[in-house]
């Protein structure tokens, strides 16, 4: 089963991994009680699934003990798995860091 996601930068459904070859195999699909949210559990093929080179797009967290008015994200993944410039060959990256 191919995984299609809605790409805001392309404004269309997009086959995940079409450009990069980094695909995901769906292992489980769950839906919440209101049936307005879908949760997928996947195996990542190729070692990564993030446009900026990390294993996952969820490589940052929000510290819960932050008493400052300014939120500083904590990087949970220290190193990138791949070089996005090499994989995407100069294509514009929709992710802004």
The residues spanned by each domain of the chain are 4-88
Q: How far apart are CA 10 and CA 94, in angstroms?
A: 9
Contact 80, 94 (CB under 8 A): no
Bridge partners (DSSP) of residue 28 are: 41
Residues above pLDDT 70, as percent of the chain: 95
Q: For residue 84, give the DSSP letter.
A: H
Token pair 């995984």 in the structure block, residue? 3
State pTM to two decimals.
Answer: 0.65
Answer whether CATH 2.60.40 is correct for domain 4-88. no
Q: Name the DSSP class of 86.
A: H
Per-residue pLDDT tens digits for 9-25:
778 887 877 778 888 88
Q: pLDDT class for 96, splitting at 50, 70, 90?
A: low
Distance CA 75, CA 63 (A): 10
């Amino acid at each position: 089963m191919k995984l299609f996601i809605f790409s805001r930068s392309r404004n269309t459904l997009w086959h995940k991994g079409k450009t990069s070859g980094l695909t995901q195999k769906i292992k489980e699909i769950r839906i919440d009680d209101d049936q307005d949210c879908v949760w997928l559990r996947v195996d990542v093929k190729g070692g990564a699934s993030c446009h900026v080179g990390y294993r996952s797009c969820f490589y940052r967290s929000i510290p819960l003990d932050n008493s400052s008015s300014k939120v500083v994200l904590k990087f949970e993944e220290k190193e990138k798995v791949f070089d996005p410039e090499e994989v995407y060959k100069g294509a514009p990256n929709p992710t802004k860091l």
